[in-house]
Structures are given as C-alpha cells and as structure tokens.
Amino acid sequence: MQLRVAIIGQPHGLKGEVRLDVRTDSPEQRLGVGAVLETEPPEAGPLTIKKSRVYKDSLFVAFEEVNDRTGAEGLRGVALVIETDEEEERDDEGWYRHELVGLEALDPDGYTLGTVTDLETMPAQDLLVVEEPDGKITRVPFVQDIVTEVDLEDGCVIIDAPPGLFSDEDIIIADGED
C-alpha cells in the first residue's frame, strides 16, 4: 500500500531546490538524504533526495534528478509516496487517507450522510471530504467534536455535524417578523 509522505511545493532558488509540504510524522526517517521515493503521478519519479535542510519551519530538498528551477517548477504538486506495510506501527490519534476513503459517513442516529471520498490536509485542521447521496460535496472539519468516531472495522465514521453543514438537514431561517 502506498502512503503519501510529502507534496512538492514551490521551487526555491535556481538550482532545483523545492519546499515540501510534509505529510509524515517521521520526515527525518522517510525524507532523509539518499531516500528514493516513488511519485504520484508515477511518471514524475522516482526521485532521490540529494540534499535536505530546514529553514523557517519548512523542509527544503534537492533531488539528484533535478538541477534547475525549471525542472523543480515541473514537480510542483507531485506527491512523494512510499510503500508501507499494513502492520506498520501508527499513531492511534491519526488516520491515513487510504483508511478513510470509502467509509460510510453516518450521523449519531445512524442515518447515512454520504461516503468519505478524500482527506484534505489544511493548515488549521484536516477536512473529510464527504459525497452526499445527492452528489453534493461537503467538507467536514476533522475534529473530535464533529467527527466523534472512526470505526474501520464497521467501515464508517460518525459525524455530529452542526446544523446546515449537510444539504438535507433542516435549516431554520428567521423571517424577521415578531
């Protein structure tokens, strides 16, 4: 199974260095000098990390296969992936995208809200992307107060959504009359 460990961001300088949007808790282990990483899309790689440094809380790397800014610009948005074993130890508080995609989204009473189609990593918090039965896409903040349970064995997530987050919920609109 493949696991995204970083997304290649903007180039830095003229010699092909890029900023990485890190998606792993172990960047020093998975993104160290000499690491050979597969890519999404596959035709962009594999890429070998030649140089790595941290500057202002960002990880910058240079790849052996890229020697200039033009080549680095062509990699923007490419995902760096590794093969992982299902048995690999993981943080009980975290979830991988591949574990969440396809889960049924239910409200606390067991009614279907839709299906999880993606996990978007954002600066403040992650978002679960849920496709509702009518095809509407809803982004749900992936926080404990809203996503109260993730049950991989039963194939579902329980979402205690605030009113109006999902399209079929009743929305009360004040008419302005007393």
pLDDT band at 1 (very low <50, low <70, confident <90, very high): low
Report CA-CA distances (Å) from 98 to 82, 101, 129.
13, 6, 13
Residue 92: inside a domain = no
Q: Which of 5, 23, 138 is nearest to 147 (CA)?
A: 138
Same-domain pairing of 105 and 79: no
Task: Please state the rounded mean pLDDT for residues 67-73.
Answer: 90
Whether 79 and 119 share a structural domain: no
Supply the pLDDT for residue 16: 86
Per-chain mean pLDDT for the chain: 82
**Separation CA 138–CA 57 (nearest Å):** 31
Where in the sequence is the domain holding 60, given as residue range(s)?
Answer: 2-83
Q: What is the mean pLDDT of residues 43-69?
A: 89
Task: Specify the pLDDT at position 30.
Answer: 82
* Alpha-carbon span 162 to 173, nearest angstrom: 15
pLDDT at position 50: 92
Average pLDDT over residues 117-136: 86
